[in-house]
A and B are shown apart, each in its own frame.
Chain A
Amino acid sequence: MSETANMRVFRGDAESGDWQDYSVEVEEGQVVLDVIHRIQATQAPDLAVRWNCKAGKCGSCSAEINGEPRLMCMTRMNLFEPGEQITVAPMKTWPLIRDLVTDVSFNYEVARTIPAFKPRAPEADGTYRMMQEDIERGQEFRKCIECFLCQNVCHVIRDHPENKPEFAGPRFFVRLAELEMHPLDTEDRLELARKDAGVGYCNITKCCTEVCPEEIHITDNAIIPLKERVADRYFDPIRWLGSKLFGR
């Protein structure tokens, strides 16, 4: 089985760019990334695309396909009608480098600002005990493949790049929640979550959760509990009074 797909791919760099149309042969079972690779091998050897595992495990090939943020390697071509025009664009939130490749360095900079995991002392034998049910939430968060689609789709920075210095984004709320709920961790990052990471900017529209290819419940399981913990400490009037009176 082989059909022809009408692909419309963004080509260009930070200065300028435009859509380019390609007719490409598609085989049974192929994904969008296969088609992009075929364009590279047969029509445009300089078409820039970032990818690694091609199995939905590394989170490199994020793009906007027909306007929807997705991993190219996990988007089957049979999702589309035969003959339908399929647009592939780079993620909008990050500065464009070339074609489908964007500058995601913002995310690596934010990662550096989160204080490292700091475990309590181990048991006498030098190892730790943790119960499975106590780590399951953390394990959900650690499924994150850092595709940055949640960051890309979050309108706090997508529509307002000026917020970037004050807003860490959903991926890092997941990271903060993970550390916050880690049974062994002793570091306090709530002040960071409130102030520098700006968790208060999030107004729970769940766009991030919808695009997560790992199906992490970003809003319900990470952001809302984080907001609650921040609110408990900083905005609970009784606690506020207590801290004024007793200094804690």
Chain B
Amino acid sequence: MVEYERHDYDVIVIGAGGAGLRAAIEASAQGARTALICKSLLGKAHTVMAEGGIAAALGNVWPQDNWRVHFRDTMRGGKMLNNWRMAQLHAQEAPDRVNELEQWGALFDRTDDGRILQRDFGGHRYARLAHVGDRTGLELIRTLQQHAVHNGIDVFMECTVSRLLKDGDRVSGAVAYWRESGNLLVFNAKSTVLATGGTGKAFAVTSNSWEYTGDGHALAYWAGAELIDMECVQFHPTGMVWPPSVRGILVTEGVRGDGGTLRNSDGERFMFDYIPDFFAAETADSIEEADAWYEDKENNRRTPDLLPRDEVARAINSEVKAGRGSPHGGVFLDIASRRSTEYIRRRLPSMYHQFKQLADVDITAQPMEVGPTMHYIMGGIRVDADTAATTVAGLYAAGECAGGMHGANRLGGNSLSDLVVFGRRAGLGAAEDAAAQASAREADDAQVEEIVAEMRAPFERDGAEGPYDIQRDLQETMHNLVGIIRTESELIEARERIDAYKGRAANVGVYGHQQYNPGWHLAMDLQALLTVSEATARAANVRQESRGGHTRDDYPGPNDAEWGNKNVVIRQGADGEMEVTTSPLPEMPAELQELFEE
């Protein structure tokens, strides 16, 4: 019999970024006894890295803006693969969630008349992003954290969930370990919210932190839930490319929102050569119009520098391949020649700091070198739009680990708003569900024993291959074969390699103690990384078209008739193998469809 701490809660929330914190706050406010479980210290989650802002049609800068315009931008940015109901709720509720953050102490930058200022971002028709310089994510997480600590939520920091527990068909809790001691915990919970973020650490070049190992996606999948759109991965166009040790670190889209432009090694503003038909009507086709748009949005169309991220990332990729890249394999992002030093330092202080300290580049005097970096996964756990319920009873999901909201490509600024809109809804859904349950079920010892044996197995294999090389090989494979441009033969090869890594991971060994042992932690994280990598590689091979963040060399362009109204669905089959199917998109009501007929 293994030793473990036991905890009983109405609701447990796994993950303490923006979505997890907001879910826990809501569940607790509904009267549920709530636990918040996170792999890092509270306030360190990847949300702190969000820079540019939170999208909400407040209409403070452009009164013409409203939720319908935001909804339309979001759906078009997602190449119409979005769950329309999620996109609608998101656009309708984001302003309330932003105002709520202000009521909880957030200090957003102001307009001249003292309201919340909004900035331009890619794919948004109007300046829509509430922001704090270029550190909006920190403001969001700190505001939620400071609000949450007074709400009677129990926080389990540096505590990693390894598996969900099931009672029949219902998720009934989780098995976790303290990173600090290696000791085990069993949570019995009436309902469980997953808010674990994304899968970036499956890729070699990413803006994501170590925590992004796809835990929530994998926990849900292992518990029988469905994943959708796992092929839809966002490569942010502007990551740092030099020096090598910072490759992939994010450069906010706010640089372009505030007037920065992309140039190739010939000094050309190459984005004018990459305007797709889909966005031609709303995109400037001359430098004069593009530059005038920043000041006058009524009489000018948007600069192509601010096309949605998938378009810009592909364009940069093409420029570099054509030999017009910067010295270190990116392109130039220039704001120095376009805005004053004072303006740049006030609007983009952390970008200034980051380039100065890490790359010896003064962005007020020199252009930056940037290139695509794996940033976000649109795909995720299938959820009900209104309640955030997954396809398994007792299990909810919100934020990046949930799928559907962003379709095939996410617009910048729509992530932070997603976190608070659907974090709140998940907390509400989970609390209502918990209130309807008689009591938390006692964990089944046999299930716990089996999970624990698997967790501790790497210690029995002292001397076997360690986890670091397997992770590095997986990251190279995903980067090279399941990256920004994909093709069938490479996707098949990726799957074969992932199968081989699964074999190696099943025999992974670690040595040393259980106390704060990163090798052991990574050995366990590898299970989730391999599951989500397989899901992305398989789904990418099934979708035989190019749409948003999924680009196929062998199927260029979208195929609306065949694929425009289908989700690719992943679930675990009865034999334990991964199954890939498709299902039709939910149908948008006529009054919303009208918004796209202009």
Contact = CB atoms under 8 A, between A and B. Distances in A.
B89 interface: no
Contact of B110 (A13, A48, A130): A130
Interface in A1-48: 13, 27-31, 34, 40-42, 45-48
B44 A58 contact: yes
B434 interface: no
A56 interface: yes
Nearest to A113: B149
Interface centre among A13, A59, A117 (most CB of B within 10 A): A117
A76 B358 contact: yes
A60 interface: yes
Interface in B247-269: 249-250
Contact of A122 (B46, B103, B209, B466): B103
A47 B518 contact: yes
Contacts of A233: none
B132 interface: yes
A74 interface: yes
A52 B40 contact: yes
Q: Size class of B's contact patch?
A: 35 or more
Contacts of A54: 209, 246, 249
A48 B518 contact: yes
Nearest to B466: A45
A53 B48 contact: yes
Interface on chain A toward B: helix, strand, loop, or mixed SS? loop
Contacts of B518: 40, 45-49
Interface string B31-48: 000000000111111101
Contact of B99 (A48, A57, A127): A127
A49 B503 CA distance: 28
A58 B354 contact: no
Nearest to B250: A55
B577 interface: no
Nearest to A147: B44
A103 B516 CA distance: 12
Interface centre among B244, B467, B472, B516 (most CB of A within 10 A): B516
Given A53-B46, A132-B110, A142-B142, A45 B149 contact: no
B2 to A, nearest CB: 22
A30 B245 contact: yes
A142 B146 contact: no
Interface stretch (B168-176, B185-193, B486-494, B507-515): B507-515
Interface in A111-129: 111-112, 115-117, 119, 122, 126-129
Nearest to B151: A116
A57 B48 contact: yes
B48 A30 contact: no
B243 interface: yes
Contacts of B110: 130-132, 135
B510 A46 contact: yes
B564 interface: no
B211 interface: yes
B180 interface: yes
B419 interface: no
Contacts of B469: 41
B42 A108 contact: yes
Given A45-B518, A46-B511, A104-B41, A29 B468 contact: no
A216 B472 CA distance: 37
Interface in B142-194: 142, 146-147, 149-150, 157, 180
B125 interface: no
B113 A129 contact: yes
A139 interface: yes
A46 B466 CA distance: 11
B516 A57 contact: no
A119 B517 contact: no
Interface centre among B42, B115, B518 (most CB of A within 10 A): B518
A117 B105 contact: yes
Given A53-B209, A116-B146, A132-B109, A45 B512 contact: yes
A180 interface: no
Interface centre among B45, B242, B243 (most CB of A within 10 A): B243
A119 B354 CA distance: 34
A129 B114 contact: yes
Interface string A178-219: 010010010000000000000000000000000000000000
Nearest to A127: B99
Contact of B354 (A42, A56, A145): A56
B350 interface: yes
Contacts of B204: none
Given A29-B244, A45-B510, A57-B49, A97 B105 contact: no
A130 B106 CA distance: 12
A59 B142 CA distance: 13
Interface string A49-82: 1111111111110000000000000101000000
B357 A142 contact: no
A138 interface: yes
Nearest to B60: A127
A130 to B, nearest CB: 5
B358 to A, nearest CB: 7
Contacts of A74: 357-358
Contacts of A129: 113-115
B564 to A, nearest CB: 37
B353 A98 contact: no
Interface centre among A127, A182, A185 (most CB of B within 10 A): A127
Given A60-B44, A127-B102, A130-B114, A29 B142 contact: no
B498 interface: no
A147 B363 CA distance: 26
B468 A127 contact: no
A143 B512 CA distance: 38
B580 to A, nearest CB: 33
B3 to A, nearest CB: 20
A29 B357 contact: no
A223 interface: no
Contact of B517 (A48, A52, A182): A48
27 contacts: A29-B245, A30-B243, A31-B245, A40-B518, A42-B468, A45-B466, A46-B512, A47-B518, A49-B518, A55-B250, A57-B135, A57-B138, A98-B515, A101-B516, A111-B149, A112-B150, A115-B150, A116-B146, A116-B147, A116-B150, A128-B102, A131-B110, A135-B110, A142-B132, A143-B138, A145-B138, A182-B105
Given A40-B468, A60-B40, 18 more contacts: A30-B243, A34-B245, A45-B466, A45-B468, A52-B46, A54-B246, A55-B250, A57-B138, A58-B48, A98-B515, A108-B157, A117-B104, A117-B105, A119-B105, A128-B102, A142-B132, A142-B139, A143-B135
List 7 A-B pairs, minimum CB-CB distance, nearest first.
A29-B243, A45-B519, A46-B512, A129-B114, A117-B105, A48-B516, A41-B468
